[in-house]
Amino acid sequence: MDDARIQVVSIVDRVYDALRERIIEGALAGGVRLRQESLADELGVSRTPLREALRRLESEGLVELETNRGARVVEVTVADMLASYEARLLLEPPAAARAATTRSLADQMRMRAAIAAHRSASTTTALFEANRSFHVALVEASGNAILGRIAALLWATRLGSAVYQRQRMTPLEAARDADEHEAISDAVDAGDSGAAELLTREHIARALAGFP
């Protein structure tokens, strides 16, 4: 890859990160139209890297590109959010049980790093990313690549960010989440598949019960 190509990719990454953070933080709400000309001017880039960044955001379900109408931030319904919890309840607890029997040192380190990031997070974006990192790492620790891809898709789409944004966790609630993640990780480390599954199920069910 030549220097010019590296520079273009770098610009796309910066634009993608900036827009994604605004969407997750709620600065760009669902339904808002993204005017490419004004966004390009605001971000100090050309339309080409902006369009590429928007395509990446579309692949995550955060943005919808409409023919001859530009782009808009995708709106998420409460039904969509509840469905995501149901999918997680079916996916994550049994994956956690399997992780307790197949986990590796790398898996353990990823989960512990996510917990540490969660405890030090000071913004909604940082909390969401740490939460996402833990749950995706937990499922990937099952050793099943297909389950890992499903988990990454669930957490990378508009559903994961919208749910987290709607909950608006207090510092106390965020700390409790991190504690529960640590208990799950401890069970996985100990090879206790029953506890790993039960704690994961209770963790997700508690979040669902408190869903606004």
pLDDT, tens only, 109-148 = 999 999 999 999 988 878 888 999 999 999 999 999 999 9
Cβ atoms < 10 Å from Cβ of 31: 10
* The pLDDT value given to residue 1: 46
Amino acid at 85: Y
pTM of structure: 0.71
> Which tokens belong to 135?
């749950």
Residue 42 has pLDDT above 60, yes or no: yes
Contact present, 188 and 110 (Cβ < 8 Å): no
Contact present, 117 and 133 (Cβ < 8 Å): yes
Instruction: Name the residue with tokens 């039904």.
Output: 79
> What residue ranges define each of the domains in the chain, with the CATH number in brackets?
3-73 (1.10.10.10), 78-209 (1.20.120.530)
Angle between helices 78-102 and 145-156 (to 10 degrees): 150
Percent of the chain predicted with pLDDT > 70: 88
Distance CA 99, CA 191 (A): 8
State the DSSP H helix or E strand holding residue 107, giving kind and residue range, or none if neither.
Answer: helix 105-120
Contact present, 140 and 148 (Cβ < 8 Å): yes
Mean pLDDT comparison of 36-40, 133-137, 158-162, 163-167, highest-scoring range: 133-137
* The pLDDT value given to residue 6: 46
Residue 154 has pLDDT above 60, yes or no: yes
Residue 212, SS3 per DSSP: coil
